[in-house]
């Protein structure tokens, strides 16, 4: 009997239909200032379809609408792209940038909801999560768009990139707060290495290339694999028109960083970059899960560990260090601190061989070195924690963490509103959702004012 793919089972088992439920039950009291939508995205293939890779599953967004202390609705919708109906991404004319899974992330920009997948154009959604169609910034975007754009909290500009296993390997774009593409630059010196996330600081754009690169022998539909010959590098590019010509690449220790927590310029002018990374064994273990191959195991302590790189532009070198021994992923911060030094950082911790037996949300205090865990019970998996700043906040961690918990024991899900300043206190509110929501990848809190 054929074993089901791991990304179609347990917490990740897809749902078979689209539903809408209203007037959701709430324990506790929802802060009235939380008026907007938590929208999350992930891969959810149609019934009867088994994608060859987790990332090839069609995107589905799940939304919870809060309004003045009420949980007004929950709804889930497939992102209706040509790929949902079977259209191929690769055609005789080349990639079809509209044949997207649109299943990695969802953001708001310029008053639009955009579902993202890094190999294609974004797809615009309505406030009720219905699909509008591919969005190309008024015809100015002719490349793919990363699933991890960065909005500068000072200028309001949106930075994003297109990465390809074929030349041009990397293109950097900047859009205005109104959604107009202002600048596009091909970045010299980039390679075919897989680039999933990046960072911005006050004066620079920072790219990460790890030891995962184009692999023509990979037949899962995602043509990448680990290569010892592929150098891990950090690229530092000055912001502004013409900055790409001044990019500098710095080689770092072998590894792969899927996500970046943040980057900033310190008092000495160094560029500090933080995020979790894996080595060869950790990457292979993840890849085996993503393609449904047998798990060949991994060396002890090979999970994704938090890392910090400090780039000294004057000396031309990089100092790197592991900052924690927990297996973590999906780092987040208060987005008002994107590009500047942050004190608090959040992440999702996974069970590992260091004695952490359950999933947990983690809060790091970078000033004191303190680490606080909020563990979840057996069969429970929280989503990436989305930080929402409280009205009138004066401290960086004054706000809420929003997470959706998949509970296999009850075949149900709930949304938690947590006090971000203290994970030891009970949830501010718990919203009971009408179904088990599959474990998802990324999402955003979008206040009503943004739409």
Question: Residue 427: pLDDT band by 50, 70, 90 thresholds?
Answer: very high
Instruction: Tell me how crowded residue 82 is: count the other CB atoms within 10 A of its CB.
Output: 15
Q: Is 225 left (phi over 0), alpha (psi -120 to 50) or beta?
A: beta
Question: Which of 337, 193, 333, 204 minimizes the C-alpha distance to 275?
Answer: 333
Question: Which of 194, 88, 84, 86 minimizes the C-alpha distance to 147?
Answer: 194
Evaluate if residue 93 carries a pLDDT over 90: no
Distance (Å, whole) CA 390 – CA 393: 5
Average pLDDT over residues 287-314: 85
What pLDDT score does 356 carry?
A: 45
Evaluate if residue 80 carries a pLDDT over 60: yes
Distance (Å, whole) CA 290 – CA 71: 34
Query: End-to-end CA distance of the chain, in Å?
Result: 49
At 267-299, the pLDDT tens digits run 999 999 999 999 999 999 999 999 998 775 556
Domain spans, the chain: 6-325+399-450
- Mean pLDDT of the residues in the chain: 95
What pLDDT score does 164 carry?
A: 95
CA 101 and chain centroid, separation: 15
Between the CA of residue 311 and those of 327, 331, 395, what are the distances in Å? 24, 20, 28
Give the pair of three-digit tokens for residue 297. 């195991």
Of the ranges 81-90, 96-105, 440-449, which one carries the lowest mean pLDDT score?
81-90
Question: Residue 169: pLDDT band by 50, 70, 90 thresholds?
Answer: very high
What pLDDT score does 301 carry?
A: 63
Give the pair of three-digit tokens for residue 64. 């919870």
Q: Match 């995020």 to its residue by tokens.
A: 275
Distance (Å, whole) CA 330 – CA 443: 11
Ramachandran angles phi, psi of 31, nearest 5°:
-60, 125
The strands making up 59-67's β-sheet, listed across from edge to edge, are 20-22, 70-78, 59-67, 36-43, 442-447
Instruction: Tell me how crowded residue 399 is: count the other CB atoms within 10 A of its CB.
Output: 24
pTM: 0.96
Cis bond leading into 217, ω under 30°? no
Evaluate if residue 355 carries a pLDDT over 60: no
What pLDDT score does 207 carry?
A: 98
Evaluate if residue 451 carries a pLDDT over 90: no
Question: Which of 329, 335, 328, 306 minimizes the C-alpha distance to 444?
Answer: 335
At 256-269, the pLDDT tens digits run 999 999 999 999 99
Distance (Å, whole) CA 331 – CA 290: 20
- Name the β-bridge partners of 387: 401
Torsion over CA: 280, 339, 236, 320 (sign): negative
- Name the β-bridge partners of 184: 173
């Amino acid at each position: 009997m054929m074993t089901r793919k791991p990304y179609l089972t347990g917490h990740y088992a897809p749902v078979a239909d689209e539903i809408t439920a209203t007037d959701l039950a709430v324990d506790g009291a929802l802060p009235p200032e939380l008026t907007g939508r938590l929208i999350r995205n992930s891969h959810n293939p149609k019934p009867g379809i088994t994608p060859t890779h987790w990332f090839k599953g069609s995107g589905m967004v799940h939304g919870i609408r809060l309004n003045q202390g009420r949980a007004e609705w929950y709804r889930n919708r497939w992102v209706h792209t040509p790929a949902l109906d079977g259209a191929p991404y690769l055609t005789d004319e080349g990639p079809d940038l509209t044949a997207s899974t649109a299943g990695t992330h969802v953001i708001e920009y310029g008053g639009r909801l955009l579902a993202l997948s890094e190999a294609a154009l974004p797809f615009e959604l309505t406030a009720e999560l219905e699909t509008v169609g591919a969005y190309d910034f008024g015809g100015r975007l002719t490349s793919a768009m990363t699933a991890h754009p960065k909005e500068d909290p000072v200028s309001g500009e949106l930075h994003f990139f297109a990465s390809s296993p074929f030349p041009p390997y990397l293109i950097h774009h900047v859009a205005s707060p109104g959604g107009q593409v202002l600048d596009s630059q091909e970045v010299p010196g980039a390679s075919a290495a897989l680039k999933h996330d990046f960072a911005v600081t006050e004066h620079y754009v920072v790219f990460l290339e790890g030891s995962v690169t184009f692999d023509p022998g990979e037949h899962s539909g995602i043509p990448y694999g680990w290569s010892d010959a592929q150098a891990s590098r950090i690229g530092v590019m000055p912001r502004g028109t013409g900055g790409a010509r001044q990019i500098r690449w710095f080689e770092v220790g072998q590894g792969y960083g899927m996500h970046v927590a943040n980057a900033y310029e310190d008092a000495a002018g160094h560029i500090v970059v933080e995020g979790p990374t894996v080595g060869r064994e950790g990457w292979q273990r993840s890849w085996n899960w993503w393609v449904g191959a047998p798990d060949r195991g991994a060396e002890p302590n090979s999970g994704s560990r938090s890392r910090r790189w400090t780039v000294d532009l004057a000396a031309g070198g990089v100092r790197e260090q592991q900052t924690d021994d927990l297996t973590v992923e999906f780092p987040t911060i208060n987005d008002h601190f994107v590009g500047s030094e942050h004190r608090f950082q959040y992440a999702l911790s996974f069970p590992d061989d260091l004695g952490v037996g359950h999933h947990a949300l983690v809060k790091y205090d970078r000033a004191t070195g303190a680490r606080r865990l909020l563990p979840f019970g057996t069969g429970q998996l929280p989503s990436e924690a989305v930080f929402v700043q409280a009205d009138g906040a004066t401290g960086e961690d004054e706000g809420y963490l929003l997470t959706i918990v998949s509970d296999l024991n009850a075949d149900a899900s709930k949304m938690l509103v947590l006090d971000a300043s203290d994970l030891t206190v009970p949830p501010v509110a718990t919203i009971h959702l009408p179904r088990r929501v599959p474990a998802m990848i990324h999402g955003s809190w979008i206040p009503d004012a943004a739409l």
